[in-house]
Amino acid sequence: MLLTIQNLTKTFVGMKALDDVGFELEAGEVHALLGENGAGKSTLIKSLTGAYSRDEGTITLEGRTISPRSTLEAQELGIGTVYQEVNLLPNLTVAQNLTFGREPRRFGIIDGRAMRREAEAMLEGYGLDIDVSHDLGNYSVAVQQIVAIARAVALSGKVLILDEPTASLDTREVEMLFDVVRKLRDQGLGIIFVSHFLDQVFALTDRVTVLRNGRKIVTEKTAELDRVRLIAHMLGRELDEEEENAARRATAGRVGSEPLLSFRNLSRRNYVEPFDLDIHRGEVVGLAGLLGSGRTETAQLVFGVKTTQTGTISDDKGKLGIASPRDAIAAGFGFAPEDRKTDGIIADLSVRENIALALQARRGWARPISRAEQDRLASEYIQKLDIRTSSAEKPVGELSGGNQQKVVLARWLAMNPRFLILDEPTRGIDVGAHAEILHLIRDITAEGMAILIISSELDELISISDRVIVVRDRRHVAELTGSEIASENIVKAIASSGEKEREAV
Ligand SMILES: Nc1ncnc2c1ncn2[C@@H]1O[C@H](COP(=O)(O)OP(=O)(O)OP(=O)(O)O)[C@@H](O)[C@H]1O
Ligand SMILES: [Mg+2]
């Protein structure tokens, strides 16, 4: 056995995050670690790699008992980790990030050329076409994630831990990453793979271990497990598909004819080609496309994050001057962005404060939201979104990743905007909560709120959207409604080349 964990227990103030957990990893296997938000997956990984101290438990690597006290020490012992949020430095170059801490030197001075060469060698086989002398922050989250993996593999080399590495990757990039992971497995690495995407678990992994409420429920061969049983292990109950379908039927025919908002000829050079977009009351419009196709860029123009070079935005009363997010919020727009770390939440503030914050900003600080109202809002959304926290007063930074994501969503919902943009709202959210969030989106649109949703999960877009707009190469290339909304049609629109389209016109 490459790695053995026995009797691992970890307590946070007042709660047992891990209770007597055992885990085994063989060389040359990909082992999925699964469970709902808050089940203890990240805590297990952090206790294994010394990021957290453990109360009890032994760790054996290649027959030797180890006890790393920091992730650095774990790395030196051979255990490399890539967490669900990229933990590299965006202001350094790709090469600096890759060689950080062991830069090649000549005469005591960092040798830039050798550094770049080394970085390029480290990235070989990962299928990235990037310039290692550019700042890491210039590249998409996806590319940053892959760079982080390359660094971890190069530095550790025995065990690679991936904590939701694919949460922000599109289908093509996931395939690319999987090829890399399979190659590493065939070279004899043991890989621990945490993901909420069950398709990926079935496609990639050899064995599965399920955690629930800090306890190990089961370890099984992936090939001997079916989806329904796996979900039952995770939830401790079975998912009700009837409910899901009923909710879906109930959303039909709610779209009015007069648009709530009209975006005309919006564009920004080298960003998004000119597009028109009408949004109706109670409508869910999905934006489909590959990562980097212009989906997020579209949302940013609509919300005033980036200024437009052409175009107008209006509602039924006339033109809206939207030159900044502040203007957009004043006009009743909301935008829950993809990267919760930079735009989403304030880790030190409590769940209650985080939920109340945006609403307070909109109202103006002259009219403070009373403590009673904050408490009411917090408990309403903790319940509605099933946010797993011991209390509304817990700092958001202490919640699990998926539960932090729910707090971001709660904050925007609490503002009750007439138009809400959701960029990857279910990224990092487990199966149970996933369905809850989709239900919630349906409920709020039934009350008239309009939604623009960006999601890399086609099934999700298809099930929730009244209309789907396909974006490719920074252009809106297709619009599908009703029965046209099918994965076949979306994939076709995403894949068809610009050439063919011009011929067709
Ligand atoms: N630093 C911390 N302080 C206090 N409690 C914590 C801390 N880190 C995690 N917890 C608690 O431990 C439990 C397990 O959290 P963990 O992050 O391991 O979940 P997870 O399985 O990774 O979930 P997710 O899928 O949402 O990432 C949660 O109840 C969480 O609130
Ligand atoms: Mg986690």
* pLDDT (tens digit per residue) in 108-164: 888 889 999 999 999 987 778 899 999 998 888 778 888 888 898 888 889 999 998
Is the beta carbon of 404 within 6 A of some atom in ligand 1?
Answer: no
Residue 241 is predicted with a pLDDT of 54
Q: Is pLDDT of 250 > 50? A: no
Same domain flag for 411 and 428: no
96 lines ligand 1 (CB under 6 A): no
Residue 339 lies inside a defined structural domain of this protein: no
Higher pLDDT: 19 or 326? It is: 19
Q: How far is the CA of 17 from the centre of ligand 2 (A)?
A: 12
| Pair of tokens at residue 74 | 């774990």
Whether residue 421 sits in one domain with residue 411: no
Cα separation, 197 vs 186, whole angstroms: 23
pLDDT band at residue 169 under the 50/70/90 scheme: confident
Domain membership flag for residue 250? no
- How many independent structural domains does the chain possess? 3
Mind listing the pLDDT tens digit for each residue in 181-229? 998 899 899 999 998 888 789 889 999 999 999 999 999 999 988 777 7
For ligand 1, atom 17, the nearest C-alpha belongs to: 400
CA distance 363 to 64: 59
In-domain check, residue 251: no
Mean pLDDT to the nearest integer, 77-89: 83
Does residue 228 sit in the same domain as residue 325?
A: no
Residue at which a domain ends, from 238, 272, 294: 238
Same domain, 21 and 37: yes
User: 335 C-alpha vs ligand 1 centroid, how far in Å?
Assistant: 26
Boundary residue ending a domain (363, 395, 416):
416
Q: Which residues contact 336 (CB under 8 A, 6 or more apart)?
A: 344, 408, 409, 411, 412, 420, 421, 422, 423, 425
14 lies in the same domain as 159: yes
Q: Write down the mean pLDDT value for the chain.
A: 85
Condensed to tens digits (0 to 9), the pLDDT of residues 20-76 reads 999 999 999 999 999 988 999 999 999 999 999 999 999 999 999 999 999 889 999
- Which residues constitute the domain of residue 395? 347-416
Q: Give the rounded percent of residues in the chain with a pLDDT score beyond 90.
A: 42
- In a domain, residue 249? The reply is no
The dihedral of CA 128, 132, 138, 143: what is its sign? Answer: positive
393 Cα–ligand 1 center, Å: 16
215/282 same-domain check: no
% of the chain beyond a pLDDT of 70: 92
* 400 and 421, same domain (yes or no): no
**Is 342 among the domain residues?**
no
- Which atom of ligand 1 is least distant from the CA of 388? 29
Both 404 and 435 in one domain: the answer is no
pLDDT of residue 48: 96
Q: Whose CA is nearest to atom 2 of ligand 1?
A: 398
Q: Which of the ligands is closest to the CA of residue 34?
A: 1
Asked whether residue 230 falls in the same domain as residue 306, the answer is no
Cα 354 to ligand 2 centre (Å): 20
From ligand 2's centre to the CA of 44, what distance in Å? 9
Q: Is the same domain home to 34 and 137?
A: yes
Q: End of a domain among 416, 435, 450?
A: 416
Angle at CA of residue 239, ends 238 and 244, nearest 5°: 155
What is the number of the ligand 1 atom nearest to the C-alpha of 402?
Answer: 26
Distance 382 CA to ligand 1 centre (A): 16
Burial class (CB in 10 A: 0-12, 13-18, 19+), 431: buried
Q: Are residues 328 and 387 in the same domain?
A: no
pLDDT band at residue 498 under the 50/70/90 scheme = low
Radius of gyration of the chain (CA): 24
The CATH code of the domain that includes 17 is 3.40.50.300
Q: Which of 15, 43, 210, 350 to mutate to test the pocket of ligand 1 (most atoms within 8 A of CB)?
A: 43
CB of 43 within 6 A of ligand 1: the answer is yes
- Ligand 1 neighbourhood includes 85 CB (under 6 angstroms): no
Kindly report the protein residue whose alpha carbon is nearest to atom 25 of ligand 1: 37
Clarify whether residues 456 and 366 are in a common domain: no
433 Cα–ligand 2 center, Å: 14
Q: Do the domain assignments include residue 252?
A: no
45: tokens are 């990984």
Q: Give the long-range contacts of residues 389-392, CB within 8 A, separation 24 or more.
A: 389/351, 390/14, 390/15, 391/351, 392/350, 392/351, 392/352
Q: What is the pLDDT of residue 178?
A: 87
Is residue 502, in this structure, part of any structural domain at all? yes
Task: Tell me which ligand sits closest to the C-alpha of residue 430.
Answer: 1
The closest-lying atom of ligand 1 relative to the alpha carbon of residue 164 is: 27
Q: Is residue 114 part of a domain?
A: yes
